[in-house]
Structure 1
Amino acid sequence: MPVATPTLAELREVCQPQAKIESRNGEHWAGRLYMRRLSLRATRHLVRTSVSPNTLTWAMVVAGVGAGAALLIPGVAGALLAALLFQGFLFFDCVDGEVARWKQQFSAVGVYVDRLGAYLADAALLVGAGFRVAETASVAWVSVGMAAALGIVLLKASTDLVDVARTRSGLGTAATEESTEIRSTRVNSVRRLAAAFKIHRIANGIEASLLFLVAALVELGTGGHVPTQIAVAAVAVVAWLMVPAHLFSILSSSRLR
């Protein structure tokens, strides 16, 4: 007999746990705003197929790395394709977990590839952006793109290493939302003030891809290539300002206790 198609309400209850959706660190704002609505409709049909969650995770990796390669295409076309591919990255990042929860198909391989994909996608985008600028300016911009990629990878690694440290020290479960609060009230106030401006978001592949698209559109209207240069430099600066700040945030919170 054919497998019945679940309703969206049934899927939402199982595949989109409220605690995850509302988590500040566990869900991207674009997921909450629109992508979870789109992904659930795709998941509704995918759960009736033999497509595995790991296959969807690999599709996520391909989309993310492809976004970096797309930036090698000159003009708005390349930047637009990169932004669309990163939306695809977010889409598959939502769908793979939803299918896994519905089918109860969880694996360490899936978790590993998911995290590896997040590293590769963001790094590829920034390296691609560096090569994009270098085509019309100095080859030194390749190094700027690589520096931005390294900064973003270090940010992700410092977050993931919290779970590694907790597991190896016997603390077990992942850090709670409350544990991310810095113990110093004064420093916590500064952190909230910095977060209010949202400038840190450009050190994320999804936002960076949109930033590069805006820069390409500005270049289309004004000529020249300075906007993309500014965008790449801005991501590099923000990423490296965040590296020590994020490290201090982790060590000053209760995440490792």
Structure 2
Amino acid sequence: MADPSAGDGLRPPRPTLAEVRAVAQPPEVLARGNAEHWTGDLYLRRLSPYLTRVLIPTRLSANGVTALMMVAGWAAAGALLVPGLPGAVLGALLAQLQMLLDCSDGEVARWKGLSGPVGIFLDKVGHYTVEAAIALALGWRAAGLVGGAEQDPAQWFGYAFAGAVLATFLVLNKALNEMVHASRAAVGLGPLPDTAAARAVPARTVLGTLRRAARLLPVHRMFHSIEMTLVTVAVALVGVLLGEELAAARVQVVAMAVLVVPVTVGHASAILASGRLRREGRS
């Protein structure tokens, strides 16, 4: 079997940063409007070639990098079980590492010519499980079950349950996009273009007005691994300043469990109101 660290015979096994960027970050990847997280545009895509350059000469496949991404995300959720600001900061740092590895797995795949459905499947499993695990961890954090004071079972169960509700709606919200692709495929429609026009909601409707308002106050963006951990850092810091760390964590998980419900309903409504589930030329 060929050594996967040796490249494909056409590319050097130890490339320069410029070579990594040219092959692993083509314009069509950087231009993806809905697939790229804002941290990718802001800084992670600037940092990922350095990590990718280190990973390319190793025997680690792109799927192996995806596995590391999962581990980093699960570790972020585990870190949130540590009470107070230290656990929140560690969780946020690990979530950043998760997203950095998420950039690099695709770059390694493009460099080594190893892209395929298995990698896409693993990537989706990683994001679904990581974000659900972080939500569950926020519930346990609010319950004070790890490193906290002795809690009344009836009290801590409610906060743990709020974390479970948050996790359930997070997974449902993410699955709505997969349902669109599955529904289109079931009736013979092609892949949905990753463009703003394909996701547009009619402007002169109540839903269109709400969508514009959401751009000014993008609450829906809170429900991703990086955002959830950054919010947790901010909440933990407020808790430290007020001397009410556990109370702050409880307000956070309850508020998020409440907010995720209208966000999910709004997402489903936006899909139905857009042209994503319609045949071309039909209303």
Is the shorter-chain TM-score for this pair beyond 0.5, marking a shared fold? Answer: yes
Q: 2:136 aligns with which of 127, 136, 153?
A: 127
CA distance in 1, matches of 2:180, 2:16: 37
Counterpart residue identity of residue 192, structure 1: R
Q: 1:222 and 2:222 equivalent?
A: no
Matches of residues 1-257 of structure 1 in structure 2 within 5 Å? 3=12, 5-135=14-144, 138-139=155-156, 140-177=158-195, 178-186=197-205, 187-224=207-244, 225-257=246-278
User: Any idea what the Cα deviations from partners look like across 1:15-64, whole Å, max 9, x if unmatched?
Assistant: 22333323331100011101111111111222222210000101111111
User: Any idea what the Cα deviations from partners look like across 1:179-221, whole Å, max 9, x if unmatched?
Assistant: 1001353332331221221221111121010111111112222
**Alpha-carbon spacing, 1:91–1:49, altered in 2? closer, same or farther (3 Å):** same
CA distance in 1, matches of 2:189, 2:240: 53
TM (norm. structure 2) is: 0.85
3-state SS of the aligned residue for 2:74? helix
Counterpart residue identity of residue 96, structure 1: D
**Alpha-carbon spacing, 1:4–1:108, altered in 2? closer, same or farther (3 Å):** closer
**Alpha-carbon spacing, 1:4–1:122, altered in 2? closer, same or farther (3 Å):** closer
Q: Which moved more, 1:214-223 or 1:166-175?
A: 166-175
User: Any idea what the Cα deviations from partners look like across 1:229-250, whole Å, max 9, x if unmatched?
Assistant: 2221222122111111100111
CA distance in 2, matches of 1:245, 1:226: 29
3-state SS of the aligned residue for 1:24? coil
User: Any idea what the Cα deviations from partners look like across 1:76-99, whole Å, max 9, x if unmatched?
Assistant: 121111111111110111000011
User: Any idea what the Cα deviations from partners look like across 1:119-165, whole Å, max 9, x if unmatched?
Assistant: 11111011011011111562110000110111111110001221122
Structure 2: gaps spanning 5 or more residues: 1-5, 7-11, 279-283
Q: Which moved more, 1:168-177 or 1:79-88?
A: 168-177
Structure 1: gaps spanning 5 or more residues: none
User: Any idea what the Cα deviations from partners look like across 1:97-131, whole Å, max 9, x if unmatched?
Assistant: 01101111012221111001111111101101101
Aligned length in residues: 256
CA distance in 2, matches of 1:4, 1:124: 36
- The structure that has the greater radius of gyration is 2
CA distance in 1, matches of 2:90, 2:194: 37
CA distance in 1, matches of 2:13, 2:133: 40
**Alpha-carbon spacing, 1:246–1:48, altered in 2? closer, same or farther (3 Å):** same
CA distance in 2, matches of 1:161, 1:105: 26
CA distance in 1, matches of 2:19, 2:51: 14
CA distance in 2, matches of 1:36, 1:195: 23
Q: Which moved more, 1:132-141 or 1:110-119?
A: 132-141
TM (norm. structure 1) is: 0.93
Shift of the alpha carbon at 1:4?
5.0
CA distance in 2, matches of 1:50, 1:212: 36
**Alpha-carbon spacing, 1:192–1:19, altered in 2? closer, same or farther (3 Å):** farther
Counterpart residue identity of residue 268, structure 2: L
